[in-house]
Amino acid sequence: MDDVSRSPVLAEEAVLGLLLPFWQVVIGAFVLVAVLVSIGRLARRGPSRMTTALLVTAGAIACFAVVGVLLQG
């Protein structure tokens, strides 16, 4: 028989669980800074490069969306 007097373990990594949202914010901030810097450099290069970059970005977003939908089901 099982020993019911023992309580179940609810959180093995309590500290990591508390820090996880903080690290997600830090990583997100670094990604945001990198994107803003790259957009600034791209904008200084001129409109033709901006158009190409927007088309490539739109294609990448569409591909990621399709892959996400295919892997979800």
Give the model confidence (pLDDT) of 3-40 as tens digits: 556 666 555 667 666 766 777 788 888 988 988 888 88
User: Could you tell me which residue, 34 or 43, shows the higher pLDDT?
Assistant: 34
pLDDT at 73: 65
Rounded to the nearest 10°, the torsion over CA 55, 68, 30, 40 is: 10
pLDDT tens per residue, range 46-70: 888 878 888 888 899 998 999 988 8
- Alpha carbon separation from 50 to 24, 36, 42 (Å, rounded): 29, 14, 6
Per-residue confidence (pLDDT) for residue 30, from 0 to 100: 92
